Structure 1
Amino acid sequence: MATGYSSFNRSSTSADLPTGVRGLRAGVLAIPNATPWVATPRYPKRMLRLEILRNVNDAEFAAVHELLVAAERADGHRALSDHLWLDLRQGGREGFAAVVGTESGHDHPVAYSQVSRGNDSWSIDVVVHPHHRYDMAAIGPEMMSATLDIVRQEGGGHVHWWVFEPTSIHFDLAERMGLQPGRELMQMRRSLPLPETITASAGSFHTRSFVPGADEDAWLRVNNAAFASHAEQGGWNADTLKSRMMEPWFNPEGFRIHDVDGAMAGFCWTKMHDSGTHLMGEIYVIAVDPAFTGHGFGSLLTIAGLESLAAHGATEAMLYVDCNNTAAVAIYEKLGFTPRYRERAFVGDIHEKTKAS
């Protein structure tokens, strides 16, 4: 059982700019009695040039990164999920592709979208530069269409498009693209350190630090079994894990492992964020081997992870959990977590592109 995970790594939240096609403010371009995506741009429509990238060179990365930074500043949270960001920065897993949208007269990309293949599905994201969001009625559908066409060319499959606090605009675009509302993800937070009443409940439950060079194979087995049907966290291989271990935030002491009779039974992988005002700890991924469900390990691993975060100076903790994972939500609520915000996945099956189509 996968008790929780953090695939999206938002640095902060913004109720002012709910986004999915990043930064589209609720009500922008709206016309009474019309769907949001038939609104008229405030300026004459320009031709959007789309470039498909399978590999991103340094210059292209710099241009895209500038767009992502601008979007994050405008929206108050990271523009790409943790998985998509690492695929972009480190070259991407098999199936990676990016769409860069440019317009004449501008020396920077006006929009960016990315698709990455997961275990049994595809993850996509779309980001529009804050200076060009007046023309979202044209840019949004064009970028989404190009991105989904990549999936068709790669054989099709199940698609997840994650949206931060979606509005009716996102629901409308998703419907036009053949996607339906799917999973809902919730960020939850609580203060640290934990009260003694919680830490005492862990009793003699023992965890150890992850050992690089020794634990990779066992961890991949547990992770992929626990997240077998998960779009982003499932289907990891040694390279996927290595890419995370190369990140500056990686600390094996914050990667807590629980063994049963010498076999890895579960883990709680944490990471630290410096918000500038305080240290925020995150339960990055937490899971129990399906063979060991029913023993209460999920709650105990969470406590172990939170204690590790507090020991490293975190004064607040966050995690992400599927809203329909009622067992995990109940665990976290019992441990003092409260909801902060939600994200919605729009999902659908995209058919393979044939010569006839």
Structure 2
Amino acid sequence: MLKLVWVDELDPARTDDVRRLLLAARESDGRPQVRPTGPLPEEFHGGRHLLGQLDAAEDDLVGYAHLDTAGDAFGRQVAELIVHPSHRGRGHGAALLDELLRTASRPRVWSHGDHPAAAALAKRFGLERARELLVMRALTTGADWPEPKPMRGLRLRTFVPGEDEQGVIDVNARAFDWHPEQSAFGVEDLRRAEQEDWFDPDGFFLAENESGRIVGFHWTKVHEANPDRFGGEPVGEVYVVGVDPSAQGGGLGKALTLAGLRHLRALGLRQVILYVEGDNAPAVAVYRGLGFETVETDVQYAP
């Protein structure tokens, strides 16, 4: 029988328990992106933690759920739910989800990879697909990524830490006022990201107008090799592309995207990925035109 316990904070021992479960899930599913040491991934910070243990082995964590009680930019609580690969198919996922739905306020629950078992579980509990996030990938070899054409009144340059944070965030707020996560990203979040090992200002492209105001950006990222995903190779990512509404419609988004793609290819990376909302048909069409294909789909279920 599964014993379920809610905790508001993970002490070091419980953090290690959760880490072992996440690493086992990564080996089986390719995700989440978790390291053997250091902090847990950001999506498991704060909020509340639901631990599922077997009565017969108190130290054996077989299920885990994280509830973001603060919610997304629109105040909707969001949950991640993971069952240890060796303990799947035994009803533990249903027990975790039942407890989540009884405790949380109409949470949205992620299913990474659109797993059929998750779809069946969602149907059983009356949850519907509320959001699809596509994972698209392109191979850099032979890709038709020409040098961006100069744009009248605009120039491209790279990010300068300590100077460009507010300008980027101003564009981000206007470009992503509709987005559940990105719209809440602020200056302090950007400064924290600058302290991460993966942050590289040379891969952070900005477009500014003749008055020096930032009107668009493309923030790229390089992921270290994950032996269980993308052939075990490091991959580049089109992390965020944002264009101020006042500058949209003139091809700036594509120019910024090309600048970042060419940069990632020059680093010797053979694959580039990106995440895009499934219902953002114009963006999906642009990315397909650049050689990207959908390789995974993440689904958010909601009551």
TM bucket by the smaller chain?
Answer: 0.7 to 0.9
Q: Which runs of structure 2 are paired with 1:201-220 in the superposition (5 Å)?
A: 202-205=148-151, 206-220=155-169
Work out whether residues 193 and 307 of structure 1, in 8 Å CA contact, stay in contact via their aligned partners in 2: no
Quote the offset at 1:149 in angstroms: 4.1
Tell me which of 142, 146, 151 is aligned to 2:95.
142
2:61 is matched with 109
Deviations 1:82-134 (A, max 9, x none): xx92143xx43xxx222111122222311111122221123211000122113
Provide the C-alpha distance between the structure 1 equivalents of 2:87 and 2:50, rounded to a whole number of angstroms: 16
Greater mean alpha carbon deviation, residues 160-169 or residues 322-331 = 160-169
Provide the C-alpha distance between the structure 1 equivalents of 2:241 and 2:33, rounded to a whole number of angstroms: 23
Provide the C-alpha distance between the structure 2 equivalents of 1:72 and 1:133, rounded to a whole number of angstroms: 14
Q: Which runs of structure 2 are paired with 1:55-134 in the superposition (5 Å)?
A: 55-78=9-32, 85-88=41-44, 91-92=45-46, 96-106=47-57, 107-116=59-68, 117-120=71-74, 121-134=76-89
1:236 is matched with 185
1:161 is matched with 109
Alpha carbons of 1:266 and 1:194: their partners in 2 closer, same or farther (altered >3 Å)? farther
1:281 is matched with 236
Q: Which runs of structure 2 are paired with 1:206-355 in the superposition (5 Å)?
A: 206-260=155-209, 261-275=211-225, 278-348=233-303
SS at match of 2:185: coil
Tell me which of 151, 163, 172 is aligned to 2:104.
151
SS at match of 1:140: helix
Which structure has more relative contact order (CA 8 Å, sep 6+)? It is 1
Provide the C-alpha distance between the structure 2 equivalents of 1:297 and 1:114, rounded to a whole number of angstroms: 38
| AA partner of residue 77 (structure 1) | R
Quote the offset at 1:327 in angstroms: 0.7
Provide the C-alpha distance between the structure 1 equivalents of 2:167 and 2:6, rounded to a whole number of angstroms: 37
Work out whether residues 185 and 323 of structure 1, in 8 Å CA contact, stay in contact via their aligned partners in 2: yes
Alpha carbons of 1:207 and 1:55: their partners in 2 closer, same or farther (altered >3 Å)? farther
Q: Which runs of structure 2 are paired with 1:19-38 in the superposition (5 Å)?
A: none
RMSD, matched Cα: 2.4
Provide the C-alpha distance between the structure 2 equivalents of 1:60 and 1:178, rounded to a whole number of angstroms: 32
1:353 is matched with none
Deviations 1:174-225 (A, max 9, x none): 2444421122222222122565x6314x212542222222222222222232
Work out whether residues 268 and 302 of structure 1, in 8 Å CA contact, stay in contact via their aligned partners in 2: yes
Alpha carbons of 1:263 and 1:148: their partners in 2 closer, same or farther (altered >3 Å)? farther
Identity %: 32
Quote the offset at 1:230 in angstroms: 2.0
Quote the offset at 1:331 in angstroms: 0.9
Q: Which runs of 5+ in 2 are unaligned?
A: 35-39
Deviations 1:16-49 (A, max 9, x none): xxxxxxxxxxxxxxxxxxxxxxxxxxxxxx1x22
| AA partner of residue 64 (structure 2) | Y
Quote the offset at 1:251 in angstroms: 1.1
SS at match of 1:267: strand
SS at match of 2:66: strand
2:129 is matched with 181
Q: How many residues align?
A: 285
- Superposition TM-score, scaled by structure 2 size: 0.84
